[in-house]
Amino acid sequence: MKIILASGSPRRKELLEQAGIEYEVIPADIDETTSKTLPNEVVEELSYNKAMAVAQANPGRIILAADTVVAFDNTILGKPNDEEDAFNMLMALSNREHHVYTGVTIVNANGFVNTFSECTTVCMYDNSEKLIKDYIATKEPMDKAGAYGIQGKGAILVSGIRGDYNNVVGLPLARVCRELAKMVD
């Protein structure tokens, strides 16, 4: 089975390779605005829109699309605008819990669509200003939602998680594999 990954995310590509899933990358080129406000609804809608955009141009193929957000106090935290924004995000998350939501849409070769989301709770240490500034100096947080990458240097900020670790990286891999298996049988 070879799927189309409707994402250019290097983390999603690594996760699919880890699972031994063959894929071709065709990133979705869509407007990522949404009228939804709840994090799970936002990621589900965006993953659906990405999948459908790629599916229309590739009928009869299996499409996998995903969208991940970090949510804190009912607010979605995107990628930081600058280092000050990254600092403010990481200080707000320090010594607190937040949630990472990933919406996934799979379109099978027959056009059947399955959309779902996963939520993982992430607990942060009480991180000092110096530690956060040192982390920001690595530039790693600048292209990450919530201003950290759990799979990289940002791991030092995290005290624990409840849920799927890979969901925080960008794809709930175990569930994706199960849903793909159901859709191709």
Strand 2-5 relative to strand 62-72: parallel, antiparallel, unpaired? parallel
Does residue 126 carry a catalytic annotation? no
Cα distances (angstroms) measured from residue 185 to each of 104, 107, 118, 174: 19, 13, 23, 17
Low-confidence ranges of the chain (pLDDT < 70): 185
Give the pLDDT confidence score for residue 184 in this predicted structure.
78
Give the pLDDT confidence score for residue 25 in this predicted structure.
97
CA–CA gap between residue 42 and residue 19 (Å, rounded): 26
- Strand runs (DSSP E) across 35-127, as ranges? 62-72, 75-77, 97-107, 113-124
Quote the tokens at residue 47: 């993953």
Specify the CATH class of 2-184 in words. alpha beta
The whole-angstrom distance between residue 27's C-alpha and the CA centroid of its chain comes to 14
| Residue pLDDT, tens place only, 46-94 | 999 999 999 999 999 999 999 999 999 889 998 999 999 999 999 999 9
CA–CA gap between residue 111 and residue 63 (Å, rounded): 9
Parse the chain into domains and list their residue ranges.
2-184
Residue appearing with tokens 């996998």: 64
The whole-angstrom distance between residue 69's C-alpha and the CA centroid of its chain comes to 6
**Which residue in 29, 31, 67, 185 is the catalytic one?**
67
Give the pLDDT confidence score for residue 185 in this predicted structure.
63
Give the pLDDT confidence score for residue 74 in this predicted structure.
81
Give the pLDDT confidence score for residue 96 in this predicted structure.
98
State phi, psi for 113 to the nearest 5 degrees.
Answer: -115, 130
Give the pLDDT confidence score for residue 165 in this predicted structure.
97
Burial of 113 (0-12, 13-18, 19+ CB in 10 A): middle
Give the pLDDT confidence score for residue 41 in this predicted structure.
96
Residue appearing with tokens 């799970």: 40
Strand, helix or coil for residue 76: strand
Give the pLDDT confidence score for residue 36 in this predicted structure.
92
> String of b and e for 87-101 (b: at least 16 CB within 10 Å)?
bebbebbbeeebbbb
